[in-house]
């Protein structure tokens, strides 16, 4: 009887045994990954370069030879783990660049890639407070609109920044702020913010499978030109609809208008004197404020004493931005008109002791001469903020005039603050206070003469008679707008 000799398994090549073992393990791992929930423990995990972003996915990045910048106008991207890690770092770098801030992150942000064939709803950031600090998560569909991904990453980063400053309220990130910053970044960098895959050289070089963290600043879409053209063709939103958008504003074509207006609003706020620091300060106040409006007014109060002043400023900003091309300064007539409004102080004037107070506008000299120092200081600090903005906007030939008013008021406040801490005999103010006031009055009178000559018209006379009793809230009006778009 003949028998057939069979080759024992132990004689198989060692390399084949290793391959079979690896395939078996990989099959078990894929099966486990397919059934794992969002707890992430057994799924592939990738850390971004800074370590702040943790990417969770059901599979590692698929090797590909596709180039990351194949089409600069693509709307949707296919998300893979390593590309998402790089996208998150690039968005963070550009955000910190817009705010002129260093990278001092404290809490991790978990990004979960959600499997699905269809484009899912825009990612929504989530935050949870644990015993060891805050933890943030963002569910990212495998196929997502690039702009929506950038906006979601900006929003979760702003949440992380705000929560670095402890307070009694969860931070309310204004939608216009996240969308506006994302719009600025997308117009500055373009498709580099969201690469779809690694490029060929990176996969063949020593950094196999790695994407470069840095972006190329290319101004793909023009920060001002296309934005101006768009707003000239589409009716912009009012300040109320922009900051408290109803559902119809965030749907359909109106969504594009909302994003454009948000970008312009953030752009003009950043162009205020010390605008980047003010934006960061507002973020720091969010956890200490009931809502973002309270944090906004506490931060920008020197420019906008009341919310109605912000609405006026926004209306004028829209008019100036959409109605002009690339001019960086206001006209001579507009500058003089703004200066007239800035130099008026709304007060309550009582024509006689028996009469009721009447609202009036008086020159700064009179308000300073008749108001107590604390009220003077509040009024003059507001005027300093308005003059700083006007100085950035003014027609070139009128900048020295505006600067003259600004310096005169700043020096008066500094001298008066020093004099108020130096008391003469029996607690009376030091003798240099009247001299300081007289010096300011003379300087302002000389500047008023120069201003009257520039306008070739007589100055409006102040209301006759009466005593200034107390200032009403200072109205900013059109004088409180930021530098026109296009100035940098």
Q: Compute and round to an integer the Cα radius of gyration of the chain.
A: 31
pLDDT score at 302: 84
- Stretches in the chain below the pLDDT threshold 70: 1-44, 59-75, 116-121, 190-191, 196-223, 323-329, 418-431, 456-488
pLDDT score at 191: 66
Nearest of 344, 347, 349 to residue 467 by alpha carbon: 349
User: In terms of pTM, does the model score above 0.75?
Assistant: no
Supply the DSSP symbol for 457.
S
Domains of the chain, residue spans:
45-300, 333-479
d(CA 147, CA 77): 10
pLDDT score at 226: 82
CB crowding 78-109: b at 16 or more within 10 Å, else e: ebbbbbbbbbbbbbbbbbbbbbeeeeebebbb
Q: Judge whether 320 and 484 are in contact, CB under 8 Å.
A: yes
E strands present in 42-106: 45-47, 53-56, 76-78
pLDDT digit string, tens, across residues 191-205: 677 776 544 334 433
Q: Give the H/E segment covering residue 211.
A: none
pLDDT score at 120: 56
Nearest of 94, 70, 63 to residue 214 by alpha carbon: 94
């Amino acid at each position: 009887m003949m028998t057939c000799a069979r080759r024992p398994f132990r004689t198989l090549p060692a390399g084949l045994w290793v391959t079979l073992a690896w395939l078996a393990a990989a099959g078990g791992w894929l099966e486990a990954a397919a059934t794992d929930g969002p707890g992430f423990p057994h799924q592939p995990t990738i850390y971004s370069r800074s370590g702040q972003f943790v990417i969770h996915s059901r599979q590692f990045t698929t090797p590909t030879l596709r180039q990351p910048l194949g089409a600069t106008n693509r709307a949707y991207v296919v998300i893979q783990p390593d590309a998402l890690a790089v996208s998150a770092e690039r968005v963070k770098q550009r955000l910190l660049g817009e705010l002129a801030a260093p990278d001092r992150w404290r809490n991790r942000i978990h990004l979960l890639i959600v499997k699905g064939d269809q484009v899912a709803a825009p990612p929504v950031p989530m935050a949870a407070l644990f015993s060891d600090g805050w933890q943030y998560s963002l569910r990212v569909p495998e196929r997502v609109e690039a702009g929506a991904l950038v906006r979601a990453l900006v929003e979760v980063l702003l949440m992380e920044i705000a929560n670095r400053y402890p307070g009694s309220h969860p931070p309310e990130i204004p939608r216009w702020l996240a969308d506006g910053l994302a719009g600025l970044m997308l117009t500055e960098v373009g498709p580099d913010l969201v690469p779809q895959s690694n490029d060929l050289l990176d996969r063949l070089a020593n950094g196999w499978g790695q994407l470069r963290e840095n972006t190329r600043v290319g101004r793909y879409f023009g920060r001002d030109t296309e934005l101006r053209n768009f707003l000239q063709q589409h009716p912009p939103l009012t300040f109320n609809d922009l900051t408290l958008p109803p559902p119809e504003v965030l749907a359909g074509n109106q969504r594009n208008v909302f994003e454009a207006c948000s970008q312009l609003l953030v752009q003009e706020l950043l162009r205020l004197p010390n605008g980047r620091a003010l934006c960061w300060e507002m973020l720091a106040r969010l956890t200490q404020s009931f809502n973002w409006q309270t944090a906004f007014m506490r931060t920008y109060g020197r420019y906008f004493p009341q919310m109605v002043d912000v609405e006026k400023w926004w209306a004028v900003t829209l008019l100036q931005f959409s109605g002009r091309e690339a001019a960086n300064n206001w006209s001579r007539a507009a500058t003089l008109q703004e200066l007239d409004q800035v130099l008026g102080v709304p007060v309550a004037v009582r024509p006689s002791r028996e009469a009721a107070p009447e609202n009036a506008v008086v020159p700064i000299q009179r308000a300073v001469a008749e108001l107590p120092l604390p009220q003077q200081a509040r009024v003059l600090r507001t005027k300093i903020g308005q003059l700083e903005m006007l100085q950035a906007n003014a027609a070139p030939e009128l900048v020295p005039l505006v600067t003259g008013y600004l310096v005169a008021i700043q020096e008066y406040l500094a001298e008066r603050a020093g004099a108020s801490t130096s008391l003469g005999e029996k607690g009376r103010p030091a003798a240099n206070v009247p001299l300081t006031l007289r010096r300011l009055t003379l300087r302002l009178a000389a500047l008023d003469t120069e201003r009257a000559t520039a306008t070739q018209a007589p100055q409006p006379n102040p209301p006759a008679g009466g005593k200034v009793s107390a200032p009403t809230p200072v109205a900013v009006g059109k004088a409180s707008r930021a530098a026109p778009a296009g100035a940098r």
